[in-house]
Amino acid sequence: EELEYYRNRKLSGRQKHNAKWMAIYNDFVVGYESGMTMVEIAKRNNVSERTIYRYKAYYDKMKKNEE
């Protein structure tokens, strides 16, 4: 009964990684790995430098977890 509750519950709240986030993140990865600067990546995606540095922190965390 309790398991059924957890299967059928609705996940509410803000989704962390939606399609737009993933599109910009994937573009960040391509740009970062090809040697673009953070400013260039930010301008190309029309987001702030702070956002790009957040993506970099997430990227570094994912790379560390792969090791």
pTM (two decimals): 0.73
Query: What is the predicted pLDDT for the residue at 9?
Result: 66
7-50 pLDDT, tens digit per residue, is 776 666 667 778 899 999 999 999 999 999 999 999 999 999 99
Query: What is the predicted pLDDT for the residue at 57?
Result: 96
Judge whether residue 3 has pLDDT over 80. Answer: no
Residue 46 CA to residue 51 CA, distance in Å, equals 10
Q: Specify the CATH number for 16-66; select among 2.40.50.100, 3.40.50.2000, 1.10.10.60, 1.10.150.20.
A: 1.10.10.60
Sign of the CA dihedral running 19, 63, 66, 62: negative
Query: What is the predicted pLDDT for the residue at 4?
Result: 75
Query: What is the predicted pLDDT for the residue at 1?
Result: 63
**Among candidates 48, 51, 11, 55, which has minimal Cα distance to 29?**
55
